[in-house]
Structure 1
Amino acid sequence: MTASPVAVELPELRLSPGGPFGIYIHVPFCFTRCGYCDFNTYTPAELGGVNPDAWLEVLRSELELAAARLGAPTVQTVFVGGGTPSLLGGARIASVMDAVRDNFELAPDAEVTTEANPESAWPDFFAAARAAGFTRVSLGMQSVSPRVLGVLDRIHTPNRSAAAAREALAEGFEHVSLDLIYGTPGESDDDLLRSVDTAIETGVDHVSAYALVVENGTALARRVRSGELAAPDDDVLAHRYELADERLSAAGFEWYEVSNWSRPGGQCRHNLGYWDGGQWWGAGPGAHSFVGATRWWNVKHPNAYAQLLAGATLPVAGFEQLDVDSRHTEEVLLRIRLRQGLAVELLDEAERQRADTAIEDGLLIPEGERLVLTDRGRLLADGVVRMLLD
């Protein structure tokens, strides 16, 4: 007999004044598991009693408890991620927003985003999401190369991502993003450039490009470990990043975070909240939250999540209280990645001296009272952070 899950009791939560507050909602369902993915997702065969309708009911319960715990603050951004939110279908994605609005007040200009996969997002889904108040769609494109999609175990056809982006635009979404992955074993420079060019040609206003990371425990990691596939090469990854940046910049996109480019006005405000000191409540199995100085994370499995909420208990698996030093480390780590840069006033005297060294090394450039990564610095962003904090 399986033991009932036990939740961890959170300390008192106090929202820090100022700054944005967002809600992240994690949809744990995927039709298949991609070989590179280590997100908290489940295929139908991996779940017992939790289906999308049951998940939606317990999600409502968590949002009710969240509003009671925080005093129902005004929400500036909502992000429905996963997993595959588009598997919910139009009616359920609208119900997700009903659940948010039933418990929180949305700011008049709230940004409301849903992720979607091309193979499960069609015009009727986009129309329903738009009618429900969603303002932004983020589509997982990854690549237009059949062989790259095959290595990644993506099931959509090469042309479907671009078609889905155009359908979202046609349904009235002003803000549509396409996500790319570069550095997949077997990918060529031309494969990447064709993917970037295709994304640009759709007319979207946002593109994310992420280097492939081989995560432990994934099917991709097993294939690399066995020698079937080569591990991504750091020099190749850097070259591909430069290719993507050059092509996007020439098309009128500007980088605003190391892995994100947008046309004017197309930045993802929700993700900027993560990088720039915002607070958020993460609802759903395995979702993470940050309020005041407290970070916590929910139990991962949807069944355990549902059992705890059935007893009107927040499904918290653990939490940590960030002290002053931890907060400082995170500020430097996250804000240095932004085009707006890191405020010099956040650094102590020793860190400012190390920043001067980074400037001499061509990794940072001062812009007024802020420090911004150079093109070379973006390629070595993690090293710049270590240099500043060492």
Structure 2
Amino acid sequence: MIERRAPHELSDEARAALRDADPARGLSLYLHVPFCATRCGYCDFNTYTAGELGSSSSPQSWLEGVRAELDQAAAFLGSGRPVSTIFVGGGTPSLLGGDGLAELLSAVHHSFDLAPGAEVTTESNPESTSPEFFHTLREAGFTRVSLGMQSAATHVLRVLERTHTPGRALDAAREAAAAGFEHLNLDLIYGTPSERDDDLDASLDAVLSVPVDHVSAYALIVEDGTRFARKVRRGEVPMPDDDVLAARYEMIDARLAAAGMTWYEVSNWARAGQDGLPVPDSVCRHNEAYWRSDDWWGVGPGAHSHVGGVRWWNQKHPATYSASLAAGALPIDGSEVLTDEDRHTEAVMLRLRMRDGLSADELDEGERDRADGAVARGLLTADGQRYVLTDAGRLLADGITRDILVAD
């Protein structure tokens, strides 16, 4: 039975902070599609299969809720906030089909103006795409596609409980390029138990055989509450090994660099220009908005938002989410106003992961001393103005952040 509780009300402090948010700042939209055909064993995202939802929700009731939230978001933020990036994630957005995603983008246009040159991305599962799907997306105004490949090794996909065949992701990338998409990403997961160096090498060969200008590669993380975590706890599969993860990361970075790609965030690589720097159009600007703590509104069940230093998150279940909006309320499940300390912590944590690095002005004297200690250990470089992770530092980014922020 679905819990039907009242949505969370923003505090007066949160509302005041939102009113004071700079309308000149760019705005991003994240649209969450909570539907999946099956649930992968490692996934802890807010997703639901048809069997889990039953008759309590449907894509149509979800879309009606999304339309209502977009209208409320536009009214809440006021005019003068053109959208610079849109990212449709999930779940499996491609289950909506090309027409469904086009309808979703049309709902955005109904509520918001898009900035010139806006980046519009959707995630897609290779198995639920086709040449017609990609042509429909291009005609609708999508500019970028991110495909979940994960691995080219069948036995690795089996461990991850992915349902697509290894070659389908490559065919989908070629079909997207043929439809006119110049900006394509393939996602990889590395460090899966049973993965061998040769498997990762084959996956990188496959990625580099198709016309992608962006690659995301994430170490397998065992998330509490997932089927994968339960298998680890029962001893059915081993925990990913940290040394193996580090070696695999170095393999990925070396292969992509040799192919003319360069990192711009610890887990993301884009096509490099003649100067060796990432080509701006190949970088995912939506993700950069997160790492810079820009303003974004997350639309959909369980989506998170951040505007003017206020963070909130939506009710998770699609039925509860839609019911709140049908009653005229924002479907907020909880919120917080970030303190100056919170903002500082996030700035250090997120910006240090980026190729541009962290401004020395962001740090107090003690933090600069500790950052200089990381420079002495070869983990950061410094030019007096910015601290930037070295190749060795990228392997230890989270630990370096903790060391800078926390005095002994």
TM-score w.r.t. the length of structure 2 is 0.94
How big is the shift at 1:18? 4.7
Deviates more, 1:178-187 or 1:115-124: 115-124
- Kindly indicate whether the alpha-carbon contact (under 8 Å) linking 2:2 and 2:320 is maintained by their aligned counterparts in 1: no
- Kindly indicate whether the alpha-carbon contact (under 8 Å) linking 1:144 and 1:194 is maintained by their aligned counterparts in 2: yes
- Kindly indicate whether the alpha-carbon contact (under 8 Å) linking 1:141 and 1:179 is maintained by their aligned counterparts in 2: yes
Q: Counterpart amino acid of 1:250? A: A
Structure-1 residue corresponding to 2:276: none
Aligned partner (choices 265, 273, 278) of residue 294 of structure 2: 278
Which string of whole-angstrom CA distances, capped at 9 and with x for unpartnered residues, describes residues 348-383 of structure 1?
Answer: 111111111010011100146111000110000001
1:68 equivalent in alignment to 2:75: yes
Structure-1 residue corresponding to 2:391: 375
How big is the shift at 1:238? 0.2
- Kindly indicate whether the alpha-carbon contact (under 8 Å) linking 1:337 and 1:373 is maintained by their aligned counterparts in 2: yes
- Kindly indicate whether the alpha-carbon contact (under 8 Å) linking 1:23 and 1:79 is maintained by their aligned counterparts in 2: yes
Deviates more, 1:6-15 or 1:346-355: 6-15
1:161 equivalent in alignment to 2:169: yes
- Kindly indicate whether the alpha-carbon contact (under 8 Å) linking 1:16 and 1:291 is maintained by their aligned counterparts in 2: no
How big is the shift at 1:277? 2.4
How big is the shift at 1:16? 3.0
Which string of whole-angstrom CA distances, capped at 9 and with x for unpartnered residues, describes residues 27-78 of structure 1?
Answer: 0000000010000000000112311122111100000000000014110000
Q: Secondary structure at the match of 1:286?
A: coil
CA distance in 2, matches of 1:172, 1:194: 27
1:224 equivalent in alignment to 2:232: yes
Aligned partner (choices 144, 150, 157) of residue 149 of structure 1: 157
Q: Secondary structure at the match of 2:9?
A: coil
Structure-2 residue corresponding to 1:359: 375
Matches within 5 A, 1:196-207: 196-207=204-215
- Kindly indicate whether the alpha-carbon contact (under 8 Å) linking 1:19 and 1:277 is maintained by their aligned counterparts in 2: no
Structure-1 residue corresponding to 2:331: 315
- Kindly indicate whether the alpha-carbon contact (under 8 Å) linking 2:3 and 2:320 is maintained by their aligned counterparts in 1: no
- Kindly indicate whether the alpha-carbon contact (under 8 Å) linking 1:86 and 1:117 is maintained by their aligned counterparts in 2: yes
How big is the shift at 1:4? 2.5
Deviates more, 1:138-147 or 1:124-133: 124-133
How big is the shift at 1:284? 0.1
Structure-1 residue corresponding to 2:143: 135
Q: Counterpart amino acid of 2:27? A: F
Aligned pair count?
A: 390
1:20 equivalent in alignment to 2:26: yes
Q: Counterpart amino acid of 2:47? A: T
How big is the shift at 1:2? 5.8
CA distance in 1, matches of 2:24, 2:350: 18
Which string of whole-angstrom CA distances, capped at 9 and with x for unpartnered residues, describes residues 157-211 of structure 1?
Answer: 0100111011111100110000000000000011111111211110100000000
Q: Secondary structure at the match of 1:229?
A: coil
CA distance in 2, matches of 1:365, 1:64: 46
Which string of whole-angstrom CA distances, capped at 9 and with x for unpartnered residues, describes residues 252-276 of structure 1?
Answer: 0010000000002310000000001
Q: Secondary structure at the match of 2:166?
A: coil
- Kindly indicate whether the alpha-carbon contact (under 8 Å) linking 1:140 and 1:161 is maintained by their aligned counterparts in 2: yes
Structure-2 residue corresponding to 1:7: 7
Question: Against the structure 1 CA distance between its residues 217 and 288, is the aligned structure 2 distance closer, same or farther, given a 3 Å change threshold?
Answer: same
CA distance in 1, matches of 2:198, 2:116: 43
Q: Counterpart amino acid of 2:377? A: D
Of all paired residues, the percent bearing the same amino acid is 59
How big is the shift at 1:17? 5.1
Structure-1 residue corresponding to 2:353: 337
Structure-2 residue corresponding to 1:192: 200
- Kindly indicate whether the alpha-carbon contact (under 8 Å) linking 2:7 and 2:329 is maintained by their aligned counterparts in 1: yes
Q: Counterpart amino acid of 1:337? A: R
Deviates more, 1:4-13 or 1:84-93: 4-13
Which string of whole-angstrom CA distances, capped at 9 and with x for unpartnered residues, describes residues 258-313 of structure 1?
Answer: 00000023100000000012110000000000000100000000010011011011
Structure-2 residue corresponding to 1:349: 365
For structure 2, the 5+ residue unaligned runs are 272-278
Structure-1 residue corresponding to 2:43: 37
Which string of whole-angstrom CA distances, capped at 9 and with x for unpartnered residues, describes residues 222-270 of structure 1?
Answer: 1111111111000000000000000000000010000000002310000
Structure-1 residue corresponding to 2:274: none
TM-score w.r.t. the length of structure 1 is 0.98
